[in-house]
Amino acid sequence: MTTIGIAANADEAAVQVGLKEVSRVDLLPRLKSSTGVESISSYDRTGGNDDGFSGKYSFLRKEGDGLVIADLKGPGCIYRIWTPTPTDDTMEFYFDGETTPRVSLKYRDLFLGQHPPFNEPLVGFGSGGFYSYVPMPYRISCKVIMRAKVVQFYQINYATYGSDSQVETFDPKSPEVTGEAMSHAVDLLNKTGRDLSYQVSPPGSNLKTVKSEHSLTPGSAVTLLETHKGGRIAALRISPASVLAGKGRDLLLRITWDGDAHPAVNCPAGDFFGYAWGSASMRSLLAGVDGDTAYCYFPMPFDKSARVELVSERLGSAPIVIKSEVILGDAPRRKDEGRFYAVWHRENPTTQGQPFNYVNVEGRGHLVGVTLQAQGSIPGITPFFEGDDQAWIDGKLTIHGTGSEDFFNGGWYDVPGRWEEQAAYPLSGCLLYSRPQARSGGYRLFLTDAYAFHHSLKLDMEHAPERNDYIADYVGMSYLYLENPPKTPWKLQEPKARAVIDPTRLVYNPGWYTPIHAFSMQNATLTKRAEVTDREHRYLSLEAHGENMFGEHLVSFLCNVPAAGRYKVSIEPMVGPDTCIVQLFRRERAIGDKVDTYTEKRGWGGTKLLGELDFKEGPNQVFIKLVGKNEKVAGDRLKFDLEAVVLDRLSGGAH
């Protein structure tokens, strides 16, 4: 146990609304002084899916050559601006009834970090989305105008305050915005993955580090911290992070405050640190995995006692050795602070016609983070991620988003270079995207844009473009501060109901972006095509003639599978009078029978079995050779049009 002192170098009075809020992580538990938290967005008011495509719902009214996208009454503060469709049109911010904009710049330039005070990493882009977290307070009003003919997708999150609040209108040239406050905010967000314990505790606190090492056996529990003196947890670190992995979700983190009968945190430990489907994924400012250490820097104040435990519900496994560090501050919970809670909730399956519910709680508090693991029931497609987020704050729908990846500051799922792979940023990121596995997930922290509520909060996520009609498996983590414990304690589901369920059918679409491992060394071309027969088909077309350098012409794909086992390998080809015969190979050995894709009439060939293979978890080769052509096909050209590779698991794999 080591002790570290922190000098008192900051005023303990409430920080004024604005940029100073960004860097004061120690103030995150404080109950918010805002009177309301809302957003304005381009969501389809009819309940449809035109959330910005046409621009119909992307403005309030026209003024001259501009579109008014927000007209907010103060006192208030804009905390987040997001879009996946920035343009070079001019964006203007008018404050307090002024006729000249205080801020005027190209819409795109708001997010690129090249136009102070919109500095990285408070602004940024990635995974298809562009975002700004530069607070823009206003005493009387703020009107935002786009000098454009059309605006598409956008969201603006803001809070309102009482008339007696200390809100000073945003001035891009003020000492606060250009000086130390900005430097502190930039410095904080640049520390993602690093030790934040000094900034998590109030100035003047004394910190001590409690280190421990435990052997955790199946069916037992170990205590990482137990104290009977008021204070706050400034950091929780567990290593090796790999011990928290696993598809059983059967290693639990429990945190109990002040002798309460029910723990405030009682959830799968991996999911608490942002694991996705059993593997480490999140690396955010306040929680995640860095190297082989799982970390959490959410400030956790308590009145008189705290207990942190790890509980193993694993069956028949060997003991695991766990090292932990808990950094403890000596400043007990203030009267204006909430206590930290984390809620794990799964709906498998989701309910037809009803959105997935993250959290539904009464009382006062604020939401500061969420994660989502969403898995569809139809292989090879992810339209469930068209669903919008909806926040009911104090009984009123005040926040309505435009799509699931939008909620996580992304955009354009299933598009190369955008929301289609794991990515981590300080306040948001993509946990995973896999079209073949029908999986998508994300995380988001709410610091200045916390969803503060006085009476109740209900946060939902739709699971379809409309009517919540795609059945899926949704798992959500919610991190929040509450003034008082929830009236109805949250219950954690039994181990069987928590475990990851890997899909047994996987569909890979080469016409989209299934990775190609290799194809013929010579005399061959690959082309992506789209064709309408009974429906639209997107497929990969391999055309070859003459000889290949090393035998038959070929194409090989890398198919990432979530679980090891034996799989049935099939193809869904386009067939016709000019297509060839193919066969599955592994290490130059033919697997299964030859498949002739020749037919007199052009069309879709359905599902055709190639053979069976054993696959490891992760990427595997599916190697197909063009081994001949039907006698009715003239010439020496070989043509293979492939819409999908289909893997059906026969045995093995974790459930």
Q: Is residue 534 part of a domain?
A: yes
Q: How distant is the alpha carbon of residue 439 from its chain centre?
A: 11
Same domain, yes or no: 25 and 166: yes
With beta carbons less than 8 A apart as the criterion, state whether 186 and 180 touch. no
pLDDT value for 335:
95
Which residues lie across from 476 on neighbouring strands?
A: 345, 372
Residue 8 confidence (pLDDT): 40
Residue 613: CB atoms within 10 Å: 18
Tell me: do 144 and 19 sit in the same domain: yes
List pLDDT tens digits, range 593-611: 999 999 999 999 999 999 9
Domain range for 593 is 506-651
Q: Indicate whether 629 belongs to any domain.
A: yes
Final residue in a domain of this structure, among 159, 189, 219: 189
The backbone torsions φ and ψ at residue 163, rounded to the nearest 5 degrees and listed phi first, read -65, -20
Q: Above pLDDT 70, what percent of the chain? A: 97
Residue 585 is assigned to a structural domain of this protein: yes
Same domain, 303 and 326: yes
- For 96-114, the DSSP string reads TT-SS-SEEEETGGGSSS-
59-80 per-residue burial string, b: 16 or more CB within 10 A, e: under 16: beeeeeebbbbbebebbbbbbb
The answer on pLDDT for 619 being more than 50 is yes
Would the pLDDT of 272 be above 80? yes
- Strand-pair category, 516-519 with 553-561: antiparallel
210 in the same domain as 120: no
Q: Which of 328, 333, 331 has the alpha carbon at shortest distance from 3?
A: 328
Contact between 310 and 222 under an 8 Å Cβ cutoff? The reply is yes
Round the average pLDDT of the chain to a whole number and report it: 95
Same domain, 28 and 169: yes
CA angle (488 as vertex; 482, 491 as ends), nearest 5: 100
User: Looking at the structure, do residues 180 and 204 belong to the same domain, yes or no?
Assistant: no
- Say if residue 6's pLDDT is above 60: no
Q: Which residue has the tokens 């794990």?
A: 344
Residue at 409 is within a domain? no
Does residue 421 lie in a domain region? no
What are the pLDDT digits (tens) for 369-395? 999 999 999 999 999 999 999 999 999
16-35: per-residue pLDDT in tens? 788 988 989 999 999 999 99
Q: Is 293 left (phi over 0), alpha (psi -120 to 50) or beta?
A: beta
State whether 87 and 69 are in the same domain. Answer: yes
pLDDT over threshold 80, residue 497: yes
Final residue in a domain of this structure, among 305, 333, 361: 333
Claim to verify: residue 212 and residue 159 sit in the same structural domain: no
- Taking only the tens place, the pLDDT of each residue in 457-485 is 999 999 999 999 999 999 999 999 999 99
Model confidence at 14, in pLDDT bands (50, 70, 90)? low
Same domain, 131 and 146: yes
Determine the Cα–Cα distance for residues 573 and 558; give it in Å rounded to an integer: 18
Residue pair 224/271 in contact by the 8 Å Cβ criterion: no
Q: Which of 6-15, 222-231, 445-454, 567-576 bottoms out in mean pLDDT, i.e. has the lowest?
A: 6-15
Element (H, E) at 479: strand 472-482
The answer on pLDDT for 204 being more than 90 is no
Query: What pLDDT, on a 0 to 100 scale, did the predictor assign at position 653?
Result: 56
Both tokens of 475, joined, read 């798992």
Boundary-marking domain end, from 280, 308, 333: 333
* In-domain check, residue 403: no
The pair of three-digit structure tokens given for residue 508, joined into one six-digit string: 């890979």
Q: Per DSSP, what are the bridge partners of residue 276?
A: 279
DSSP per-residue letters across 136-202: EEESSEEEEEEESS---S-EEEEEE--TTS------TTSHHHHSHHHHHHHHHHTTTTS--HHHHSP
Tokens of 534: 């009974």
pLDDT average, residue stretch 328-335: 95
Instruction: Judge whether residue 9 has pLDDT over 80.
Output: no
Q: Report helix, strand or coil for 570.
A: strand
Tokens 């430990």: give the residue. 269
Q: Which two tokens stand for residue 31?
A: 């109950």
Distance in angstroms (rounded) separating the CA atoms of residues 621 and 521: 17
**Residue pointed to by tokens 């932990």:** 324
Is 476 within a domain? no
Q: Same domain, yes or no, for 156 and 23?
A: yes
531 assigned to some structural domain: yes
Cis peptide bond upstream of 515, omega within 30: no
Supply the CATH number for residue 274's domain: 2.60.120.1390
Q: How many CB atoms lie within 10 A of CB 452?
A: 23
- Pair (34, 164) in one structural domain: yes
H/E stretch holding 188 reads helix 180-189
Residues in the chain: 655
Looking at the structure, do residues 283 and 312 belong to the same domain, yes or no? yes
Number of structural domains (the chain) is 3
Q: What's the rounded Cα separation, in Å, for the pair 571 and 561?
A: 16
> Other C-beta atoms within 10 Å of 533: how many?
12
Cα–Cα distance for residue pair 419/183, rounded to 1 Å: 30
| CA–CA gap between residue 447 and residue 635 (Å, rounded) | 66
Q: Is the pLDDT of residue 444 over 50?
A: yes
What pLDDT does 300 receive? 98
